[in-house]
A and B are shown apart, each in its own frame.
Chain A
Amino acid sequence: NAGVTQTPKFQVLKTGQSMTLQCAQDMNHEYMSWYRQDPGMGLRLIHYSVGAGITDQGEVPNGYNVSRSTTEDFPLRLLSAAPSQTSVYFCASSYDRLNYGYTFGSGTRLTVV
């Protein structure tokens, strides 16, 4: 099993550009989430999904869109990149949130200049 795969691993964007961070899991997990990690602030939840076709906002959703058309994929779209979105982005998935932990991808390091 590949687990949770995130692409790309690194990306540099110019202010105002848009892009999609890809996340795919092959474990048939219903639950998927996107987090951003900034120095000294831990991980903050951007958006999450409890199944195909169902998404909801987390703590810091502004500037980001998500969709969940399949169980496997949960892409994160930056609509118009801003320097404040410079961060490391992690995608995570879980089989059963009440009884099992999340499996994390290796992250995407994004720099907006």
Chain B
Amino acid sequence: SQQGEEDPQALSIQEGENATMNCSYKTSINNLQWYRQNSGRGLVHLILIRSNEREKHSGRLRVTLDTSKKSSSLLITASRAADTASYFCATFRSRLTFGEGTQLTVNP
């Protein structure tokens, strides 16, 4: 069964806007990771946040983690058309388990 659930399943925004994707999970974790997948390609690791961290930044990405609510969010600021992709959260505790992803479309 899938550990993580992303919300929304699909998101369409204009270039320059911010995109927020959410992830909820069910059991305790060691870390939570976000990946990007362009159509038909392999996944690319974006950012990892440990269970004892609450927020992490990487360039235009901001990730938060709330272990009490078992949830995480990924914020992409000032989005670009090149950010169009599927985004997956994945939780790690002995194995890495993925959610079903959010399809982000950034319109020029």
User: A and B: real partners?
Assistant: yes
Interface residues of chain A, those whose CB is within 8 Å of chain B, are 4, 33, 35, 40-45, 48, 58-59, 90, 92, 97-107
Task: Enumerate 26 A-B pairs (CB-CB under 8 Å) in ascending A order.
Answer: A4-B42, A33-B95, A35-B98, A42-B2, A42-B98, A42-B99, A42-B101, A43-B98, A44-B2, A44-B98, A45-B96, A90-B42, A90-B43, A97-B30, A98-B50, A98-B92, A99-B48, A101-B33, A101-B35, A101-B46, A102-B33, A102-B43, A102-B45, A103-B45, A105-B42, A106-B42
**Residue on A with the closest CB to B97?**
A45
Interface residues of B (CB under 8 A from A): 1-2, 30-31, 33, 35, 41-48, 50, 88, 90, 92, 95-101
| A-B contact sample (4 more), CB < 8 A, given A42-B99, A42-B101 | A40-B100, A43-B88, A98-B92, A104-B42
Interface of chain B: mostly helix, strand, loop or mixed: strand
Report B40 CB to chain A, min CB distance, Å.
8
B48 and A41 contact, CB distance less than 8 A: no
Q: Which of A4, A97, A103 contacts B96 (CB 8 A)?
A: A97
